[in-house]
């Protein structure tokens, strides 16, 4: 597999991928795409980032399109921040 990863601010187009990853990581209490939408709508007190990169397919290691590999978020309010 070739290519590199990119860290960038999360956008509306990332919500479905973030929700899929959330379900894989937290199957019993995962946030929905609607919850992530609400979080992104809370800017500037909410900040989310995604790590994207190429993912190998199951056939011969061919590289598929860039996919969301991970995400992180932070809520800030005055002097307090939560991650």
Q: What SS3 state is found at 39? A: helix
Query: What's the pLDDT at 59?
Result: 65
pLDDT surpassing 60 at residue 2: no
Q: pLDDT digit string (tens) for 22-59?
A: 999 999 999 999 999 998 898 888 899 999 998 776 66
Q: pLDDT digit string (tens) for 54-78?
A: 877 666 666 667 799 999 999 887 7
Q: pLDDT digit string (tens) for 11-22?
A: 999 999 999 999
> 14: exposed, middle or buried (C-beta count within 10 Å: 0-12, 13-18, 19+)?
buried
The residue to which tokens 């190998």 are assigned: 56
Q: How many CB atoms lie within 10 A of CB 73?
A: 17
Q: How many CB atoms lie within 10 A of CB 36?
A: 23
d(CA 62, CA 55): 8
């Amino acid at each position: 597999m070739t290519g590199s990863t990119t860290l960038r601010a999360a956008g509306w187009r990332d919500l479905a991928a973030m929700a899929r990853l959330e379900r894989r990581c937290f199957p019993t209490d995962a946030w929905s795409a609607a919850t992530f939408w609400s979080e992104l709508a809370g800017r500037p007190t909410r900040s989310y980032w995604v790590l994207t990169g190429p993912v190998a397919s199951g056939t011969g290691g061919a590289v598929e399109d860039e996919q969301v590999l991970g995400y992180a978020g932070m809520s800030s309010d005055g002097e307090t921040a939560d991650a």
